Structure 1
Amino acid sequence: MTEATILVRRSRYAVAAVFCVHGAVTGSFATRVPWIQDHAGVSTGQLGLALAFPAIGAALAMPLAARITHRFGTRTALRGLLALWTLSLILPSFAPGLLTLCAALFVYGATSGMADVAMNALGIEVEHRLKKSIMSGLHGLWSAGALIGSAIGTVAAHANLSAQTHHVAAAIALTVIGAVMCQFVLNIHPEDDEEPPARFALPPRSALLIGAVGFCAVFAEGASLDWSAVYLRDILDSSAGVAAGATTGFALTMAIARISGDAVVDRFGAVRTVRWSGVIATLGGLLVVFAPHAAVAMAGFGLIGIGIAVAVPLAFAAAARSGPNASQAIAGVATITYASGLVAPSIIGGIAQASNLTVSFIVVTALAAGLAMFARVLATSPRTAADGVLPR
């Protein structure tokens, strides 16, 4: 085994750990949304407005990630961006009102988006050098991190621990772990004559249809992560601990489906996998909408998690193959998918304010069905056999 092969394999595990850390921040935040809502004293509609700000921040900041990576190299850029993201977890729980909550969530989303682009671009580079599919597995580790974060959040909610104490401790621990893991990722610097990417770039035309798959998946994912606990509490009158458990169950099914996703995609192809995934997610949405009690709703959120699991990593992988600069292409598709996160909280909260969250999740179910409708576009960026996956 050559030294280069050893470095690439070591980087694979380090990037996987980075994905896990990134997911743990999201899981830690999602389970404490009801606490943050009560602390800030905002209504359901106002919470929906505030939850749009992470996507706004991400959409505006993500195009900068390619420029930062070009300037500092992959290792330094990822280390810095990941640290900013983990530390931003502290901000929302200290917000005393709507305006400060929106500002905190803007920073939270901006740092999340930039770290997201950097780690996905690096993961795709490792995948290319290994000559086999690993992106679904990496996103599976993200879901595993979200599961760990949400599980700890569930315990904290049961113990009536404030989100402030919980998030400060989690942010410090995750910052340290992330910094250590970034020491072992590939350190790629641009060639001296390589032009830096534009500070801001519109998504390439090829990214628009690919982004539609990510748009549908991220809408369902964001709605489930941010609103599942609120749904069980407000619609099904569940306790805080049981409500937080819905988020944990959702993260668990996503983690399992993504970790096993590479083998499934290798066997059935990207198009067929995403098409059937859309069917599963739609069935899950219907269970949530018609759930008579918490157990059925939790099962529905679990099916949504299974159904949307592989769509985003496959969309990012297709995006990286659609343009000459992987970071820019990923940023383009990620901007589209995060736009879904931008509209999802507002739509969910706005409809809930006008009617209730049950009606809101009819919209989630319809977008989940969109996965099956748009799956075919992943065949527009076929992999070679050496890449490990054939869209079909």
Structure 2
Amino acid sequence: MSNRSAISVVFALHGAVAGSLATRVPWIQDHLGLGPTILGMALLCPSIGAFAGMPMAGRLAHRFGGRAATRVLLAAWCGVLALPALAPAPAWLFAAMLLYGVTAGMCDVVMNAHALTLERRLRRPIISGLHGLWCVGSLAAGGLGVLAAHARIDARLHLGALAAALLAAGIVAGRGLLPDGTAPGAPAPRRFALPGRPILAIGAVGFCATFAEGASADWAAVYLTEVAGAGPGLAAASFTVFMSCMAATRLAGDRLVRRAGPVAVVRGGGVLAVAGGVLVVAARSPLPGMIGFALIGVGVATIVPLVFAAAGNAGPSAGEGVAGVATITYLSGLTAPAVTGWAAGALSYPAAFAMITGVVSLMTVAAGALRPGRAPAPAVSGPGAEPAAEPALDTERPGHRGAVPGRRTG
């Protein structure tokens, strides 16, 4: 299996784990007899776990190597999928969901850092397409989960068998990951990687995109029902349309970056997302509303992959840079649904999405933070390492096809 195929499978498997558990939450709620408050606390635990684990991921990758860290954390992430359904009581569920979040966040950081190392080796953008495969894996596993739920299959059996299958696939894929190169004299990342000013600027762009993504994904069906008068089936389909548009755009995103550069792609996506937000706010029937949400999905789809790429090149190390922006984007994804609900309750649903449209506008204005640096990459050695003499590549020049964002040293 080639390095590119291996990391592609890793991203698809990570998405599959996330999509699988989401479909069986109702079974877990019914099995443990959980009320809305307790269930809400349980669903908050993965985000808390991710916040705790992400800042340590770079140090783990530095100590054991990105390849080994990715293999071990992906295996842990696949294995943990079975635990929430096996929890005998709420306290055990909280512990399982915390562990689920820790492994999810740490695996997210190291696999993105590993992908950026491969991207620099290949000298062409691949990160957007990998995130597209994450969406494909999530949608496919989610569809399988819907079928399992419809067939009334016990979630312990479903998630346990799926965890074993995904774990086996992850072990096979891990063998094909890029061998590690090491930078002579490179300092070890801090135990808790606090983002620096360049990472905060890049993370602000990611925060805006993830805010719009999280709000739209969680509230599209409710909005279409309450404001646009959509029936239950059409409203539920809006999420699938939204995620499918994001997946398709991410799969095409690398080609767009090669042609136009990351800043132009972010600004173009921002314009589309703003147009979608305006359409959602104005919509009073289902079709315009669904088109609006689809445009938001297309507009923000490539932003998070590009933010990860920019941060990986701007940070002291790829893992530390990715950890910084990943923490910021997770914070955004955690707060967006709640803030949207508060705004809708205090004002109205259209007013809430007018606010979200304003957030996307800020993302468009701040897109320059993703402009690649011009510094040459530091020398590295070891199997699969990048050549020391290669200069950083310029992806801002339209038409440049073999480029990735230039690496800034710090």
1:3 is matched with which residue? none
2:214 is matched with which residue? 222
2:139 is matched with which residue? 147
CA–CA distance in 2 between the matches of 1:161 and 1:359?
A: 41
Does residue 329 of structure 1 match 2:321?
yes
Normalised to the residue count of structure 1, the TM-score between the two structures is 0.82
2:16 to 24, 35, 41: 24
2:271 to 279, 285, 297: 279
In the TM superposition, what is the alpha-carbon distance from 1:286 to its structure 2 partner? Answer: 4.3
1:259 is matched with which residue? 251
1:72 is matched with which residue? 64
Give secondary structure in 1 for the equivalent of 2:371. Answer: helix
CA–CA distance in 2 between the matches of 1:46 and 1:297?
A: 33
Give runs of aligned pairs for residues 359-378 of structure 1, distance below 5 A: 360-378=352-370
2:123 to 131, 147, 152: 131
Q: Which deviates more, 339-348 or 31-40? A: 31-40
Does residue 208 of structure 1 match 2:200?
yes
CA–CA distance in 1 between the matches of 2:35 and 2:348?
A: 16
1:115 to 107, 122, 126: 107
1:343 to 327, 330, 335: 335
Does residue 308 of structure 1 match 2:300?
yes
CA–CA distance in 1 between the matches of 2:223 and 2:21?
A: 16
Q: 1:27 to 1:340 in 2, by over 3 A?
A: same
Q: Which deviates more, 247-256 or 182-191? A: 182-191
Task: Provide, for residues 199-256 of structure 1, a one-character-per-residue CA deviation record: whole Å limited to 9, x for no partner.
Answer: 11211221011001111122223334445566667876754x7655433322211111
Of structures 1 and 2, the one with the larger relative CO (CA 8 A, separation 6+) is 1
User: What letter matches 1:220 in structure 2?
Assistant: A
Please say if residues 67 and 114 of structure 2, whose CA atoms lie closer than 8 Å, have aligned partners that are also in contact. Answer: no
Give secondary structure in 2 for the equivalent of 1:196. Answer: coil
Structure 1 alignment gaps of length 5 or more: 1-6
In the TM superposition, what is the alpha-carbon distance from 1:281 to its structure 2 partner? Answer: 2.1
1:196 is matched with which residue? 188
CA–CA distance in 1 between the matches of 2:138 and 2:152?
A: 20
1:384 is matched with which residue? 393
CA–CA distance in 2 between the matches of 1:160 and 1:238?
A: 25
In the TM superposition, what is the alpha-carbon distance from 1:38 to its structure 2 partner? Answer: 6.3
CA–CA distance in 2 between the matches of 1:125 and 1:221?
A: 27
Q: Which deviates more, 349-358 or 171-180? A: 349-358
Structure with more of its chain in helix, by fraction: 1
Task: Provide, for residues 69-92 of structure 1, a one-character-per-residue CA deviation record: whole Å limited to 9, x for no partner.
Answer: 122222221111112222333345
Aligned length in residues:
381
1:59 is matched with which residue? 51
Q: 1:284 to 1:15 in 2, by over 3 A?
A: same
Q: 1:165 to 1:380 in 2, by over 3 A?
A: same
In the TM superposition, what is the alpha-carbon distance from 1:311 to its structure 2 partner? Answer: 0.5
CA–CA distance in 1 between the matches of 2:310 and 2:60?
A: 23
* Higher CA-based Rg: 2
**Identical columns (%):** 47
Give secondary structure in 1 for the equivalent of 2:191. Answer: coil
User: What letter matches 1:70 in structure 2?
Assistant: H
Q: 1:70 to 1:119 in 2, by over 3 A?
A: same
Structure 2 alignment gaps of length 5 or more: 375-391, 396-401
Please say if residues 90 and 168 of structure 1, whose CA atoms lie closer than 8 Å, have aligned partners that are also in contact. Answer: yes
User: What letter matches 1:26 in structure 2?
Assistant: A
CA–CA distance in 2 between the matches of 1:106 and 1:285?
A: 34
1:4 is matched with which residue? none
Q: 1:289 to 1:97 in 2, by over 3 A?
A: farther
Q: 1:135 to 1:21 in 2, by over 3 A?
A: same
User: What letter matches 2:393 in structure 1?
Assistant: T
CA–CA distance in 1 between the matches of 2:34 and 2:139?
A: 27
Normalised to the residue count of structure 2, the TM-score between the two structures is 0.79
Give secondary structure in 2 for the equivalent of 1:260. Answer: helix
| Superposition CA RMSD, Å | 3.4
2:379 is matched with which residue? none
CA–CA distance in 2 between the matches of 1:214 and 1:95?
A: 34
